[in-house]
Each structure stands twice: as C-alpha cells, then as structure tokens.
Amino acid sequence: MKLKKAMLWGVTVAIISYLVILILQTSYNIWKPLLEILEFQNTVLKWSVACALTLVVLAIIGYAIIILAHPFKGIMYRILGLKARQAKSVVLVKWGGIWFLGWLAGRTQVDEDTLYRVIVPSAPLPVSGQLMLVPRHRIIFTNLTVTEHLAQLTSMGFGDFPESLNKCPDPLLKNNRRRGRKSQTAPPG
C-alpha cells in the first residue's frame, strides 16, 4: 500500500512539475512581443516579468470564476432539492449488468411501481452524471459516506477504498429508522 501511495505521489509531482514548466514556457512565449517592445536585456528579468504578468492574469481569471460560481451554487442545491439525510446515502445500483455507486435522492411513484431516484456522478469531476430511476431490487444500501465516495471519484478510484462495503437499511423506509434494527438487503439480481 505504501508503494502504491508513493508511486501515486511521484506521478502527481511529476505531472505538476511538467505543467509548471509548460505554463512558464507558454507564458514567456505569450508575453515575448511585449517584453521585446520594453527592451529588457536580461533574460532572467524577461522570464520574471512574463511569470508575474501570467500570475496576474491567472489571479484575475480565478477571482472571476469564484465570483461567477457563487450565485450558481445555491441554485444547484435548490434545483436538486435533496434533503440532507437522503443526500448522504450512497447506494450500489445494478443496471445493465454493471454496478454503479450513486447517491440516493428519493422515491418516485410510477403507476403502481415505486422507483428510487439515484444520482450517478461522473469521475473525476462529479459535477455531471446521470439521474436513474431504479426499482428497489436493483439497489444495495451501503455504509459508504458521500465524502468517501467523492474522494473515490476525484481520485479516479486510486484512493483508499474500504475492503468491504456493509449493507445498510433503506433510509427511506420509516420502519427502519429505529436503531438496532437489522439491515434489509436487496435480493441478488
């Protein structure tokens, strides 16, 4: 396990170092015409000014993203309309012969069938995904938290994952809310 973490950190540092060098070269090439007009003789000074200008532009872009993203965060939570207890449930969903990890969003009645709304986020950026309407027999409720699931998504599955997932009761059924009740598991299928 330590070797795997060391390799993961080594790859991460190598990629970040490569990106920093690439950004420095690109920033120098972008600002090169301006630096020639200003007639800097010292190459180190040219690189320094190019890096400073790039940092200023990146800071402006970063602040713009923060300012623009803030109003949309509240809208996203209102659109999803997830209750805190329901949003914290991570479930395994079998769909098309494949198991997916998703977030339980609630139940929906379609004619006489009760379907569960499950959000299956994409990796590595869980800002998109699928909303699935799934029958109860295709769902297994797990002990995995949303935070642990997000860590798995953002690390593309390379993070620490539990050796086993425990089955838990359905959080949407009222008779399972009492403590000490044995968990209800989904039949195989």
Tell me what percent of the residues of the chain surpass a pLDDT of 90: 2
Domain extent listing, the chain: 2-80, 84-176
Residue 131, pLDDT above cutoff 70: yes
Asked whether the whole model's pTM tops 0.85, one would answer no
Sign of torsion, CA 85 89 95 100?
A: positive
Answer yes or no: are the C-beta atoms of 91 and 103 closer than 8 Å: yes
Q: Which residues are CB-neighbours of 46 under 8 A, at least 6 positions away?
A: 28, 32, 35, 40
Q: What is the pLDDT of residue 149?
A: 79
Task: Return the CATH class of domain 84-176.
Answer: mainly beta
CA end-to-end distance (rounded Å), the chain:
33
| Mean pLDDT, all residues of the chain | 73
Task: Count other Cβ atoms within 10 Å, centred on residue 128.
Answer: 7
Q: How confident is residue 115, by pLDDT bands cut at 50, 70 and 90?
A: very high
